[in-house]
Amino acid sequence: MITVQGITKKFGDITAVNNISFSIREGEITGLLGPNGAGKTTTLRMLTCYLKPDDGAISVGRYNVDDSPVEVRKIIGYLPESAPVYGDMLAYDYLAYIAEVRGIQDKNRIDEIADLCGINEVMHMGVGELSKGYKQRLGLAQSMIHNPDILILDEPTSGLDPNQIIEIRNLIREIGKKKTVILSTHILPEVEATCDRVIIIDHGTIVADDRTENLQSMSGGERLVLVSVSGPDFRTLSGEIAGLPGVTRVEEVPGGELVTARVAAAGTADVRPELFRLAGAKNWTLYELTQEQRSLERVFRDLTGGGAK
Amino acid sequence: MNIRELKIKDIDFKGMAAQAMEKAKVYSHEPLAIMKKELMTYFYTPIAYIVITAFLVVTGFFFFKDFFYFNQAEMRGFFQFLPLVLTLVVPAITMRLFHSGTIETLMTLPVTTAEAVVGKFLAATAFVSIMMAPTLIYLITIIIVGSPDPGPIIGGYLGSILLAGAYSAVGVLTSSLGRNQIIAFISGLAACFFLWLIDKITIFLPAKLAFIEFLGTDYHFRNISRGIIDSRDLVYFLSIIVISILLTTKILDDRR
């Protein structure tokens, strides 16, 4: 659906985006994650043809962004970071204007989209008078009014209260069932809650690109499995486990009556079947065997150098 | 049936006209939608009404200043000072066009840069025209009290709209140059004032440089407001408009 090949964007001496490539399939919710100033917004702005890449190519659907920006914009719905800022307009007039520019003839569409985004009760109010939450919903309504195939959302939940965040996330999840959604954020739980796939950007380059669950389970190139058994002591257990193929490390997890160990395995190897067979062969009672979900926060910190650069 | 008849019959003029209309509709709704929205935005705030009131007070003063003194049914006083008043008012109207923080939304809608620029230019010109519309009361007044010569009045209004268009286009251009509204206003004012002034400085220049006066807006406005509609004056104003719109489009495209 979207293919990005080696795009670079510089602002004077600053390289905001440096030779990044990725592709996004249809019907995927992709999170663009990175610390502030990592190049997320610049990347999204290039996807929406607001900015031109200095180098590289982007194709959206069957269109090239350079050659057919207007065609690309027709199939994309975009919620900019600071939208909407038509402070003096009424919410209804704002949507009517967007509908007119997009050539939407059906007047009922405005009411439909207002219904979907839950902004019916504020349609008569000035955009400047709306709360941050309603402004964001109005921006979402604007981005979806033409029923686009691709929805690009730049920090869709920034500045919202926890209830509004949950509502917007649910809305994005709902939309993501039928559309391709790309959202940028620096809030990790947002990605965990909404995205199928994560692209982590830092200093204008991609540092990770994988499915959310893979990133959560991978820990610096290794998978972690928690195993609890009764029967052996930790020394025996770790000695036996260390002999299994792919196992790089066995740590004791203290506490409880059972013997619990955290087993690290290299790469993508899954040691759980081996552990299960080992417990059976040694006649140990297996109480727990789970792959540890490492929070994205840790992955993010590891990959972006603590996130405080 | 001869070939000539066959050819004319074969051409589907109706279909071609319908196609052309359809194409024009497709390609024209975006600038018109932008124009409508920009025009509406002007009237959402009291600033529009304040600007219009101030304009009418100032131009009213110039209209009535010598009106009773000369006892003539004419609008010369009004049209004489109108260009100078517009140099001040038009940049104030155009300064916010590319600074309202709405560019990102606009430029991610399916419009070309040129369509966005034309839409904003049309809005500014339409606003200035609306602002000048109440001055038709002066015209009605002098028609009631005397029998004015229609030539200078029709020429004066046509020239005013062309001048408003030229200044609006220059204002749109200066508003696209930077990101600050005050700088946009001052540079717009300087550019419009320079265009107004340029034909007046030729007396200080050698005779060889006298052609410079052709570059001045006031020179061409005076010609038209005498009631003589010369194609050279029309071409001048249209050139300013087209060049400014093209430059604005180029600047905005380059900024991407």
Is residue B160 pLDDT above 90, yes or no?
yes
The C-alpha atoms of residue A158 and residue B215 are separated, in whole angstroms, by 52
Q: What are the tens digits of pLDDT across the range B96-108?
A: 888 656 788 888 8
What does the block give as tokens for B29?
Answer: 């709704």
In the predicted model, what is the mean pLDDT of residues B45-69? 84
The helices-and-strands tally (H runs, E runs) of chain B is 12, 0
Check residue B127 and give its pLDDT: 94
Confidence band for B254, pLDDT divided at 50, 70 and 90:
confident
Check residue A309 and give its pLDDT: 35
Q: Report chain A's mean pLDDT, rounded to a whole number.
A: 84
In the predicted model, what is the mean pLDDT of residues A255-276? 84
The C-alpha atoms of residue B221 and residue B214 are separated, in whole angstroms, by 11
Residue, of A83 and B47, whose pLDDT is higher? B47
Is residue A308 pLDDT above 50, yes or no?
no
Residue A292 Cα distances to A244, B105, B254, angstroms: 19, 43, 50
Confidence band for B173, pLDDT divided at 50, 70 and 90:
very high
Instruction: Identify residues of A whose CB sits under 8 angstroms from chain B CBs.
Output: 45, 48-52, 69-71, 73-74, 76, 78, 80, 82-86, 88-89, 93, 97-98, 100-103, 126, 142
Check residue A198 and give its pLDDT: 87
Check residue B26 and give its pLDDT: 47
Please identify among residues 144-203 of chain B the ones whose CB lies closer than 8 Å to any CB of chain A.
Answer: none
Check residue B239 and give its pLDDT: 94
Residue of A240, A228, A215, A245 lying closest to A289 (CA atoms): A228
Residue A279 Cα distances to A247, A276, B255, angstroms: 16, 5, 65
Percent pLDDT > 70 in chain A is 93
Is residue B72 pLDDT above 60, yes or no?
yes
- Determine contact: B48 vs chain A, CB below 8 A: no
Question: Best mutation site among B29, B103, B109, B113 for testing chain A: the one with the most A CBs within 10 Å?
Answer: B109
Is residue B79 pLDDT above 60, yes or no?
yes
ipTM > 0.95? no
- CA pseudo-torsion sign B19, B21, B24, B28: negative
Q: Is A83's CB within 8 Å of B36's CB?
A: no
Residue B243 CB-density burial (10 A; 0-12 exposed, 13-18 middle, 19+ buried): middle
Q: Report chain B's mean pLDDT, rounded to a whole number.
A: 84
Q: What are the tens digits of pLDDT across the range B233-253?
A: 999 999 999 999 999 999 988
Check residue A107 and give its pLDDT: 82
Please identify among residues 8-27 of chain B the ones whose CB lies closer than 8 Å to any CB of chain A.
Answer: 26
Confidence band for B60, pLDDT divided at 50, 70 and 90:
confident
Q: What are the tens digits of pLDDT across the range B183-222?
A: 999 999 999 999 999 888 888 888 787 788 888 898 899 8
Check residue B3 and give its pLDDT: 47
- Minimum-distance CB partner of B108 among A50, A89, A103: A50
Q: What are the tens digits of pLDDT across the range A6-62?
A: 899 988 888 889 889 998 888 888 988 888 888 888 999 999 988 889 999 999 888
What does the block give as tokens for A81?
Answer: 């970071």
Q: Please tell me the least confidently modeled range out of A5-14, B20-29, B159-168.
A: B20-29
Check residue A169 and give its pLDDT: 83
The C-alpha atoms of residue A33 and residue A207 are separated, in whole angstroms, by 10
Check residue B226 and give its pLDDT: 86
In the predicted model, what is the mean pLDDT of residues A100-117? 88
Residues in chain A closer than 8 A to B110 (CB atoms) = 70-71, 73-74, 101-103
Q: Is A100's CB within 8 Å of B105's CB?
A: no
Check residue A307 and give its pLDDT: 40
- Minimum-distance CB partner of B109 among A45, A84, A101: A101
- Minimum-distance CB partner of A86 among B102, B108, B112: B102
The helices-and-strands tally (H runs, E runs) of chain A is 11, 15
